[in-house]
Amino acid sequence: MVEQKATNVHWHEGDVTREHRQQVLGQKGATIWFTGLSGSGKSTIAVALEKELISRGNITYRLDGDNVRLGINKNLGFSAEDRHENIRRIGEVSKLFCDTGIIALSSFISPYRVDRDMVRELHESAGMDFIEVFVDCSLEEAERRDPKGLYKKARAGEIKGFTGIDDPYEAPEKPEVHLHSDQMSIEDELAALLEELNKRGIVAAE
Amino acid sequence: MVEQKATNVHWHEGDVTREHRQQVLGQKGATIWFTGLSGSGKSTIAVALEKELISRGNITYRLDGDNVRLGINKNLGFSAEDRHENIRRIGEVSKLFCDTGIIALSSFISPYRVDRDMVRELHESAGMDFIEVFVDCSLEEAERRDPKGLYKKARAGEIKGFTGIDDPYEAPEKPEVHLHSDQMSIEDELAALLEELNKRGIVAAE
């Protein structure tokens, strides 16, 4: 990976590849996949990382329920089949961002190991970096926070199949980064993520 | 739009927006949508534009059958419903690229006006640039070229519902750029596209 952004890449022949885009961008494309319970702090750390990286001149894009469920996945519901297809499409979109040279920050509960492993395989079989980040928070703490009031509804039986209540969360066995969001500060979480990104040459060390 | 790439954007508060990414990238996100018959030269001009733009330090991403039909749309066939859903998803992905600040080069026959107008509306309702490029080529010339041998198969009845043979191509009525690919040189086509991009401030004039 080159360290500096090039404003003028001399182009001679052949198709434009991921490597060329990465050279212009001065970074390596990657998918950082945040998984964890509702309320565990996935979006909070993804937003913090996005801010930190753009201040360094890196380009990221956050994929989350807001821009996915209302857009590409707006024709999907919450059946088992649709949940699987939801994660598959997000995985494919993340992969397109990687191929562009962008750092995709994908933040979804994604409770099933088989789905996350499918997305990992999509990336790794194409030589792309997939960084699984387990945003680990006790159910008690996530339920105490309950930022969207969803646990309350799930406990009252108004929402069925809610992860952690009446549907399982399958914790990652070997995540690239394991954050204990009920014990770590945002600064410490950021440091752990940046260390992983530096180690892989995704962004240049400051 | 800023003209120079910033390597260090001073970040203070609030969420990272499209504007900030565009500032770092030194360009404006946009979708350039190439529509036309099979064999009309959509991919040829998209590849040429991609090369020209990266040589100027601009970041584009080409969406085409190769990376879409094998990825995000691999569970779609060629029924009327699936063709519509194919274009819808491509439109949504293009929009995500726009929102990132990337110039999406989307190259699909996309024969139906209603589908292209849907993708336009997706973009324009979000304040994003959608540039419809009609790659206009006579059926005779497209069929003479027949780079993939598809017209031959369609004439032999081996492919049903082929655009231009037994399925209609609805030409754009007011495309932003109208290329006559059976009469213009690639250089002239490129010049027409760059003029449109400069006019809209998507890329800086050379």
Contact A137, A181 (CB under 8 A): yes
Q: Is residue B9 part of a domain?
A: no
Contact B89, B63 (CB under 8 A): no
What is the CATH number for B138?
3.40.50.300
Mean pLDDT of chain B: 91
Query: pTM value?
Result: 0.92
Report chain A residues whose CB lies below 8 A from the CB of B45: none
DSSP A176: S
| Type of residue at A69 | R
Q: What is the dihedral of CA A188, A189, A195, A197, to 10 degrees?
A: -160
**Is residue A2 scored above 50 in pLDDT?**
no
- Residue B187: strand pairing partners: none
Q: Is B17 on the interface with A (CB under 8 A)?
A: no
> Three-state DSSP class for B98?
helix
Instruction: Tell me whether residues A15 and B101 touch, CB distance under 8 A.
Output: no
User: A102 is in which domain, residue-wise?
Assistant: 18-199
Instruction: Tell me whether residues A20 and B54 touch, CB distance under 8 A.
Output: yes
Report chain A residues whose CB lies below 8 A from the CB of B25: 59
DSSP A70: I
| Type of residue at A157 | G
Q: Which two tokens stand for residue B130?
A: 């959608």
Q: Is B103 on the interface with A (CB under 8 A)?
A: no
Q: Is residue B4 part of a domain?
A: no
Taking the C-alpha atoms of residue B173 and residue A204, their distance in angstroms, rounded to an integer, is: 48
Mean pLDDT of chain A: 91
| Type of residue at A57 | G
What pLDDT is stored for residue A7 in this prediction? 42
Q: pLDDT per residue over B11-34, tens digit each? A: 445 689 999 999 999 999 999 999
Q: Determine phi and psi for A80, rounding to 5 degrees.
A: -55, -45
Instruction: Tell me whether residues B100 and A96 touch, CB distance under 8 A.
Output: no
Q: Is residue B112 part of a domain?
A: yes
Taking the C-alpha atoms of residue A161 and residue A163, their distance in angstroms, rounded to an integer, is: 6
**Is residue A52 scored above 90 in pLDDT?**
yes
Contact B135, B36 (CB under 8 A): yes
The minimum CA-CA distance between A156 and chain B, rounded to whole Å, is 34
Q: Is B84 on the interface with A (CB under 8 A)?
A: no
Q: pLDDT per residue over B99-154, tens digit each? A: 999 999 999 999 999 999 999 999 999 999 999 999 999 999 999 999 999 999 99
From the list A174, A150, A173, the residue with the least C-alpha distance to A163 is: A150
Share of chain B above pLDDT 90, in %: 82
Instruction: Tell me whether residues B71 and A61 touch, CB distance under 8 A.
Output: no
pLDDT classification of A14: cutoffs 50, 70, 90: low
Q: Is residue B163 part of a domain?
A: yes
Look at chain A and report how many structural domains it folds into: 1
Q: Is A54 on the interface with B (CB under 8 A)?
A: yes
Q: Is residue A22 part of a domain?
A: yes
The residue that leads in pLDDT, B80 or B182, is: B182
Q: Is residue B78 part of a domain?
A: yes
Q: Is B99 on the interface with A (CB under 8 A)?
A: yes
Alpha carbon of residue B35 to chain centroid: 7
Q: Is A110 a catalytic residue?
A: yes
